[in-house]
């Protein structure tokens, strides 16, 4: 028996020398932002490598699966509605952002369009070892091959069944009970890889460092006119560290936004996102009535960006009414 044990130990030692050990790292869902103001064009889910080893997804495949909660009717039972295969190599301390094409620092686009691709309400996201092909539409949630998961809502009731299916005991409200303040929030681990907190400032592809929250908003001077005079729009920020700068991410579909005397066209030297001064102006076109909107954020001295602020412009003949979208 001793000889047999010795032989087995020597065989295992040889195998350890010739068989590569695959280190998967400690991957976690680090931050999500699923609900913005108006159309959801900046949704994202961020994966963080909290381990000491790189993860090569071509060798160690992982898939992000989204579950539509709040549905206890067979056969769906909180089933999956989207699966995204992770690609590339995620280094220790690195971030991987899966999101809409316009999301800052996005690495992988959600399939199926440009906006409104992640469910609001009582839902969940989960990271599994495996492939996208393992998940057909309305596949049930499971803990098999599960790496990490998080249940969330947007001011909705908890889905206990969904939590239990994923081995969870908590569900997080992205809006943190503040769904009427006109500011976009995220759910983020703070610090990176730590415990979740709600009401965070979205930082896709950046550290959740727990620094002062950073917000962007705007003041506007209302000018009633007959000659289509520009309307002044002053961008402001609050919080963050050091001096703030501003970036415009989307433009009004009708009329022109100016930075000084320079029109922001979204192409060439003013391609988006475009860094601007704090003092802008908006010029509508003649004989137009309607509602326009542009989005901007603030960036502090450490490069941390605020959530997007959406500025609404209600254009009326004889004047322009400007208000922040709530």
Give the pLDDT confidence of 147-184 residue by residue, as tens digits: 999 999 988 888 999 999 999 999 999 877 665 445 67
Radius of gyration of the chain (CA): 24
Contact 146, 125 (CB under 8 A): no
- Reported as a single tens digit per residue, the pLDDT across 41-74 is 889 999 999 999 999 999 999 999 999 997 656 5
CA distance 294 to 320: 14
Domain boundaries 27-200, CATH class: mainly beta
Residues of the chain with CATH 2.60.40.10: 214-324
Which pLDDT does position 152 carry in this prediction?
Answer: 95
What is the average per-residue pLDDT within 86-107? Answer: 94
Please check the confidence at residue 6 and state whether its pLDDT lies above 70.
no
Burial of 109 (0-12, 13-18, 19+ CB in 10 A): middle
Which pLDDT does position 74 carry in this prediction?
Answer: 59
| CATH fold of the domain at 214-324 | Immunoglobulin-like (2.60.40)
pTM above threshold 0.85 = no
The DSSP bridge partners found for residue 302 are none
Which pLDDT does position 225 carry in this prediction?
Answer: 43
Output the CA–CA distances (angstroms, integers) from residue 86 to 102, 125, 188, in the order listed: 19, 14, 20
Q: Give the model's confidence band at 300: pLDDT under 50 very low, under 70 low, under 90 confident, else very high.
A: confident
């Amino acid at each position: 028996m001793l000889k047999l044990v010795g032989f087995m130990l020597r065989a295992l030692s040889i195998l350890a020398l010739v068989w590569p050990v695959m280190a998967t790292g400690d991957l976690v869902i680090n931050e999500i932002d699923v609900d913005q103001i108006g159309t959801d064009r900046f949704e994202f889910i961020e994966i963080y490598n909290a381990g000491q080893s790189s993860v090569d997804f071509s060798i160690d495949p992982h898939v992000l699966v989204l579950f539509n909660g709040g549905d206890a009717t067979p056969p769906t039972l909180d089933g999956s509605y989207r699966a995204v295969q992770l690609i590339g190599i995620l280094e220790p301390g690195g971030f991987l952002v899966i999101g809409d094409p316009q999301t800052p620092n996005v690495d992988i686009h959600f399939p199926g369009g440009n906006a409104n691709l992640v469910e609001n309400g009582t839902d969940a996201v989960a990271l599994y070892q495996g492939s996208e092909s393992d998940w057909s539409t309305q596949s049930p949630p499971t803990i098999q091959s599960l790496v990490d998961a998080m249940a969330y809502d947007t001011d909705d009731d908890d889905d206990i069944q969904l939590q239990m299916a994923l081995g969870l005991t908590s569900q997080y409200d992205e809006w943190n009970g503040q769904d009427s303040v006109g500011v976009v929030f995220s759910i983020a681990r703070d610090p990176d890889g730590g415990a979740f907190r709600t009401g965070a400032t979205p930082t896709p592809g950046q550290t959740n460092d727990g620094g002062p929250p950073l917000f962007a908003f705007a003041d506007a001077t209302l000018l009633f006119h007959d000659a289509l005079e520009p309307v002044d729009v002053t961008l402001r920020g609050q919080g963050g560290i050091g001096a703030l700068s501003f970036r415009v991410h989307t433009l009004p579909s009708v009329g022109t936004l100016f930075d000084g005397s320079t029109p922001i066209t979204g192409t060439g030297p003013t391609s988006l996102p475009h860094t601007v001064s704090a003092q802008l102006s908006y010029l509508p076109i003649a004989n137009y009535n309607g509602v326009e909107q542009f989005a901007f954020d603030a960036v502090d001295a450490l490069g941390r960006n605020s959530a997007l602020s959406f500025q609404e412009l209600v254009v009326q003949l004889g004047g322009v009414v400007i208000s922040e979208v709530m």
